[in-house]
Amino acid sequence: MKKVLVITYSQSGQLEEIVTNMLKPLEGKVDIHYKKLKPVPAFPFPWTDMTFWDAMPESVKMIPARVEPLDLNPMVNYDLIILGYPIWFLSPPIPLTTFLKSGQAGQVLKGKPIVTVIGARNMWVGAQEDIKKMIAENGGILKGNIVLRDRHHNIPSVVSIIYWMMTGRKDHYLGIFPKPGVSDKDISEAEKFGGPIKEAILDSQYGKLQNELLELKAVELEPNVVSMERKAKRIFRVWAGLILKKGDAGSKDRIGRLKIFKWYLLFVIFAISPIATILFYLTYPFFFLSIRRKMEHFRGVEIRYSKQSA
């Protein structure tokens, strides 16, 4: 029987629910081995205010921390590896970065076809570019990508996600704001992606997998959101560098800069991003071809090594 290794990090449990539903068509057809990344110490959920913001510099700069080594049998030859992850500050979560920069990742991923599964609010392309590179550095071969995201408008979804992260409650904040995270409907319907994955595994043919997933709307992009994300990721890198100058994670010396970043980011989201959206659409006709090329790249699994790729 074909064997699939599923490696996930899911702080809230949403990502694991997505992956479990997605793989239902494979049950009984292939041998599925689930492995969860466990950081040491564990990141809290729900977050406290400062522990949340304190994770930003290391997430953005992709600085490894500690995770428990995965309990894997080196004699098992996997036919496919699935990596499932959420997004932290437009970047891969620290536990997944830590694993992908470990020696074990090279042993596990080398020469294997990989499918990534993302559960995100609405900005994920930069993190996926980082993941693409780390997969390639470990000798893995990315063959597919599936993204489930919060479909609500940017500003209400920010309020909802902060409420969820700080309370652990995935309900309607104040009875007004939309339910945070990926919708129950989209999570349930993730099963549709399992069909093409199952056929690719059974046939050992992965060349057409991403196109088949795209036909099922596995990756949907909003150009204005992507544009804002690319600018924000560059700014995040500057802020991460400034905060790291005051100390490592947990250092009290960097709390002041973390608080400044927090209020800066909230101001940009609520005051600047609506203006940026208007400006994007006013200039969109002038950059249509360039934007279309970028969107095609982000829908795919190819690697772009230029500085502008994220």
Kindly state whether residue 209 falls inside one of the protein's structural domains: yes
Compute the distance between CA of residue 139 and CA of residue 109 in angstroms, rounded to an integer.
6
260 Cβ contact partners less than 8 Å away, ≥ 6 residues apart: none
Compute the distance between CA of residue 199 and CA of residue 206 in angstroms, rounded to an integer.
9
**For residue 195, what are the domain limits?**
3-224+292-309
Does residue 305 register a pLDDT over 60? no
pLDDT (0 to 100) of residue 74 = 80
Kindly state whether residue 119 falls inside one of the protein's structural domains: yes
Kindly state whether residue 266 falls inside one of the protein's structural domains: no
Instruction: Say what the pTM is.
Output: 0.93
pLDDT (0 to 100) of residue 306 = 41
Kindly state whether residue 270 falls inside one of the protein's structural domains: no
92 Cβ contact partners less than 8 Å away, ≥ 6 residues apart: 59, 62, 85, 100, 127, 130, 131, 134
Kindly state whether residue 47 falls inside one of the protein's structural domains: yes
Q: What are the strands of the beta sheet with 141-149, ordered from one edge? A: 31-36, 3-8, 80-86, 113-120, 141-149
217-235 burial string, b = 16+ CB within 10 Å, else e? Answer: ebbebbbbbbbbbbebbee
Instruction: Tell me the per-residue pLDDT of 139-191, one tens digit each, with 9 for 90 and over.
Output: 999 999 999 999 999 899 999 999 999 999 999 998 899 999 999 999 999 99
Kindly state whether residue 274 falls inside one of the protein's structural domains: no
Kindly state whether residue 287 falls inside one of the protein's structural domains: no
Task: Please state the domain count of the chain.
Answer: 1
Instruction: Tell me the per-residue pLDDT of 227-274, one tens digit each, with 9 for 90 and over.
Output: 999 999 999 999 999 999 999 999 999 999 999 999 999 999 999 999
Does residue 100 register a pLDDT over 70? yes
Q: What is the CATH number of the domain that holds 34?
A: 3.40.50.360
Segment 59-78 shows an average pLDDT of 94
pLDDT (0 to 100) of residue 303 = 82
Average pLDDT, the chain: 94
pLDDT (0 to 100) of residue 309 = 39
135 Cβ contact partners less than 8 Å away, ≥ 6 residues apart: 83, 100, 109, 114, 116, 141, 142
**CB–CB of 117/146 below 8 Å?**
yes
What radius of gyration do the chain's Cα atoms show? 19
